[in-house]
């Protein structure tokens, strides 16, 4: 019997699938895309209906050759790439490459890598979906055209090597606009008043001033006031806007007698969250586990493709992780309900299965992210997973089980205390039934901490309506309204999703790209635009206002969806994109070569010492610098710090050429010493590490970066000394051969360890530390 060939993207996925299929199948991996647009040219024939010209990716020729050879020898070919647009495009290109060898090609789709799912898929093969292929092709073509046309524009305006992206640049715009909001925000002062009350039984409780003369006290933020004004009900509200007003109110309150005017008790249901989709998984992993979206997706990919579970072999633990659907199949829901009944009891199991409403823009192509089998609970798999894999799997497991559990029941007591025209209010909440909260509690990422901690204390259960209470104390609190919070990686993903920008397969790369390009930096898990990012955004928005905006980008995402469902065509959508884009590009290129006036930053009033003209800030290969505004008549330049937020870092070293202070500077290859008198003095030298070079005793080992950005270690006396190592050099003596240095290495199998390149001995760093500590 002739064998069948199954082609997937990754070797780990191939290994898991191969385990289920047996000897009649050959499973091969394409290792991602084998075909793409060429790197050196546009690759899109705009005049011929945007016809793409694909080429085999460099380094993939042997993969293609092997796939062709196996296809020739096989009876049938099943292409089992991921069940999304990207996977469909990979399948299409593979099929095109191998169809001359064998035309008996089928497409198989499965949402999880389990024996049942794979068997059902092979028994019910389909064909490659041209609509999905065209949707992916349109996205790729848009991104390529925009990147190839706009990036050179940035090279002219700012510096070579910069790039723009169709979606990433809109994400950058959101970050920059949020920064502008924060910088222009004017804080408003307001006050709150907390009363300390005592019952006749000497029970103390706290309550917050809620109303004055039937007018509710509010925070006087502009958005709140504008909304109340729009509704025509602003006169029903009041704010305490100064200490003087607060003190007058307190003086008047002290003259009042108080009693409890109303006690309201009610129960409310708290519904469980739906099972994870891509964006909600990224947000929860960020909040609970401190994982970036990129890290979350890398770990989820491993869990999906398969993990070794001892005697169980390689098992795919979760369903496909790029999805915008909360849908679940009946079988897995029934299994979850049985599990809940058995483990938690019937009170935690709702009478009916819980289903979740489809979101407006959801493609609903795949199920939600869930465990593939309830046999593999977190405790079962814990010893086989890394720490990061385990906590993410546990998060997915708990959210899935919780989504089928009973609602939590929250009891809320509201107490109103009245005296004259003043009403104080206390609210006390507690869960009378945990329900799904027994295993999954949502943690809010943005915590609005109330300064009035006193009112969070429990209210006495003995309180009754019309009960007289004594006012013991009044505590005023000063507050200031806060600007909107900066985006985190998680909240940016949430914002992009709500605006209809990006898709489950692209969220992680959108966020990581703006960081990797140094348009954005992270500080305390918040995203700050760099000066470069702010200037790039200004240039793009100024020159391409109709392209790099939320509305146009969301419209294009929607049009890509219409291709995928057959309501539009590749050519129509590409024309809808290219016509406004080409007009914007033509308009931008017709403008003056210099930066627009409003983008030229005056250098704090500094004047050119050579001609007296104003100095302005410009960008060069090494970052921002000052240049004379009279260029090219005057070519005077001066260096400035890379980021206005950073003070110059003095090294304590003197320049051996001019005697000035040496600064610690940073380039794309790492930190170095540079003369503070640059560009008058251009002396630079590497920062000494204190670790002697093993080969050249007068040199230091320093960390450097290759042209591709990979870190390596070399001698500071290069080119006199050619010592180089991919591993960090450590000044420790080898216990076996007394070699004066060791290399620090890491492998998955051995972890962190020290390696001697003379005697080849290895020592785990943990063991070395234990020995040194006795």
First-to-last alpha carbon distance for the chain, in angstroms, is 65
Class of residue 88 by CB neighbours under 10 A (exposed 0-12, middle 13-18, buried 19+): buried
- Is 320 labeled as catalytic in the residue annotation? yes
Cβ-based neighbour number of residue 514 at 10 Å = 24
User: How would you classify the pairing of strands 215-217 and 237-238?
Assistant: parallel
Q: What are phi and psi of 522, to 5 degrees?
A: -105, 130
DSSP string across 258-317: EEEEEEEEEEEEEPPPPPB-HHHHHHHIIIII---HHHHHHHHHHHHH-EE-GGG-EE--
User: Do 261 and 417 form a contact (C-beta atoms < 8 A)?
Assistant: yes
Please list the residues that pair with 383 across neighbouring strands. none
Check whether the bond before 465 is cis (ω within 30° of 0): no
Q: How far is CA 505 from CA 131, 135, 282, 298, 658, in A?
A: 17, 13, 12, 12, 54
**Coil, strand or helix at 602:** strand
- Bridge-based pairing of strands 762-764 and 661-667 is unpaired
How are beta strands 105-107 and 77-79 bridged, if at all? parallel
What angle separates helix 11-21 from helix 293-305, to the nearest 10 degrees? 20
Q: What is the rounded distance in angstroms from the CA atom of residue 716 to the CA atom of residue 718?
A: 6
Residue pointed to by tokens 């390149």 = 757
- Ramachandran assignment for 210, one of left (phi > 0), alpha (psi -120 to 50 degrees), beta (any other): alpha
Q: Is residue 106 classed as helix, strand or coil in its secondary structure? A: strand
φ, ψ for residue 236, nearest 5 deg: -85, 0
Distance of CA 683 to the CA centre of its chain: 40
Q: At what angle do helices 130-157 and 570-590 cross, to 10 degrees?
A: 10
Whether residue 340 contacts residue 366, with contact meaning beta carbons closer than 8 Å, is answered with no
The packing angle between helices 489-499 and 507-516, to 10°, is 130
Tokens in use for 72? 């020739």
Q: What is the DSSP string of 673-708?
A: EEETTTTT---EEPPP-S-B-SS-TT-BEEEEE-TT
**Strand ranges across the sheet with 724-725:** 701-705, 711-715, 724-725
Given the residues 20, 190, 320, 755, the one annotated as active site = 320
Cβ-proximal residues to 324 (8 Å cutoff; 6+ apart), any chain: 277, 278, 279, 359, 361, 362, 363, 364, 503, 504
Per the CB < 8 A criterion, the answer to whether 153 and 543 are in contact is yes
For 191, the token pair is 């006050």
Report the alpha-carbon distance of residue 37 to residue 49 in Å, rounded: 16
* Residues β-bridged to residue 243: none
In Å, how far are 166, 301, 375, 549 from 513, measured between CA atoms? 12, 19, 38, 18
**234 half-sphere exposure, CB direction, 13 A CA radius:** 12
The pair of three-digit structure tokens given for residue 41, joined into one six-digit string:
């040219």
Active site amino acids: 320
């Amino acid at each position: 019997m002739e064998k069948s060939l199954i082609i997937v993207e990754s070797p780990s996925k191939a290994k898991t699938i191969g385990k289920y299929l047996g000897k009649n199948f050959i499973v091969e991996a394409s290792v991602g895309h084998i075909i793409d647009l060429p790197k050196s040219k546009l690759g899109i024939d705009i005049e011929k209906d945007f016809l793409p010209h694909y080429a085999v990716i460099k380094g993939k020729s042997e993969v293609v050759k092997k796939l062709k050879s196996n296809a020739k020898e096989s009876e049938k070919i099943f292409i089992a790439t991921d069940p999304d647009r990207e996977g469909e495009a990979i399948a299409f290109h593979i099929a095109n490459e191998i169809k001359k060898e064998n035309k008996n090609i089928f497409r198989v789709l499965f949402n999880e890598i389990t024996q049942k799912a794979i068997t059902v898929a092979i028994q019910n093969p389909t064909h490659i979906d041209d609509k999905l292929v065209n949707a992916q092709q349109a996205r790729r073509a848009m991104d390529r055209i925009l990147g190839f046309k706009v990036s050179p524009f940035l090279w002219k305006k700012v510096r070579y090597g910069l790039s723009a992206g169709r979606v990433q640049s809109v994400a950058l715009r959101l970050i920059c606009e949020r920064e502008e909001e924060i910088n222009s925000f004017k804080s408003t002062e307001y006050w709150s008043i907390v009363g300390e009350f005592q019952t006749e039984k000497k029970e103390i409780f706290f309550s917050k001033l809620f109303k004055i003369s039937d007018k509710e006290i509010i925070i006087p933020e502009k958005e709140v006031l504008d909304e109340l004004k729009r509704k025509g009900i602003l006169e029903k509200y009041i704010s305490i806007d100064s200490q003087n007003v607060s003190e007058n109110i307190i003086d008047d309150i002290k003259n009042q007698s108080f009693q409890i005017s109303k006690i309201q008790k009610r129960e409310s249901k708290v519904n469980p969250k739906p099972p994870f989709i891509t964006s909600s998984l990224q947000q929860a992993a960020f909040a609970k586990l401190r994982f970036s979206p990129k890290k979350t997706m890398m770990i989820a990919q491993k869990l999906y493709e398969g993990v070794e579970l001892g005697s169980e072999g390689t098992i795919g633990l979760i369903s496909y992780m790029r999805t915008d659907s909360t849908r679940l199949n009946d079988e897995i829901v029934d299994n979850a309900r049985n599990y809940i009944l058995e483990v938690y009891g019937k009170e935690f199991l709702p009478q009916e299965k819980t289903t979740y409403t489809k979101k407006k823009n959801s493609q609903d192509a795949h199920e939600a992210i869930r465990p593939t089998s309830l046999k593999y609970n977190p405790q079962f798999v814990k010893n086989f997973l890394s720490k990061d894999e385990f906590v993410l799997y546990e998060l997915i497991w708990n959210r899935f089980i919780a989504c089928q559990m009973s609602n939590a029941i929250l009891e809320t007591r509201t107490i109103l205390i009245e005296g004259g025209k003043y009403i104080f209010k206390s609210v006390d909440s507690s869960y009378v039934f945990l329900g799904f909260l027994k295993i999954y509690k949502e943690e809010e990422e943005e915590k609005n901490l109330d300064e009035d901690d006193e009112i969070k204390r429990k209210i006495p259960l003995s309180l009754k309506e019309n009960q007289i209470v004594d006012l013991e104390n009044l505590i005023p609190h000063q507050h200031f309204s806060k600007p909107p919070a900066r985006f985190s990686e998680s909240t940016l993903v949430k914002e992009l999703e709500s605006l209809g920008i990006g898709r489950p397969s692209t969220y992680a790369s959108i966020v990581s790209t703006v960081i990797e390009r140094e348009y954005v930096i992270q500080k305390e898990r918040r995203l700050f635009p760099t000066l470069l990012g702010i200037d790039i955004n200004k240039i793009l928005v100024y020159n391409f206002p109709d392209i790099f905006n939320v509305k146009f980008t969301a419209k294009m995402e929607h049009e890509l969806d219409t291709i995928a469902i057959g309501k539009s065509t590749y050519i129509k959508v590409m024309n809808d994109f290219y016509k406004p884009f080409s007009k914007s590009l033509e308009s931008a290129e017709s403008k003056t070569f210099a930066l627009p006036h409003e983008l030229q930053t005056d250098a704090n009033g500094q004047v050119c010492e050579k001609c007296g003209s104003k100095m302005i800030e410009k960008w060069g290969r090494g970052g921002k610098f000052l240049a004379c505004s009279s260029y090219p008549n005057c070519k005077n330049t001066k260096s400035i710090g890379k980021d206005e937020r950073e003070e110059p870092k003095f090294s304590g070293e003197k320049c051996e050429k001019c005697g000035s202070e040496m600064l610690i500077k940073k380039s794309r290859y790492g930190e170095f010493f540079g003369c503070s008198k640059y560009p008058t003095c251009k002396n630079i030298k590497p920062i000494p590490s204190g670790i002697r070079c093993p080969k050249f005793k007068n040199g230091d080992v320093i960390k450097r970066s290759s042209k591709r950005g990979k870190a390596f270690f070399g001698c500071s006396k290069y080119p006199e000394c050619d010592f180089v190592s991919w591993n960090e050099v450590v000044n420790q003596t080898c216990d076996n051969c007394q070699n004066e240095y060791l290399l620090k290495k890491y492998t998955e199998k051995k972890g962190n360890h020290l390696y001697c390149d003379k005697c080849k001995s290895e020592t785990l760093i943990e063991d070395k530390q234990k020995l040194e500590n006795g």
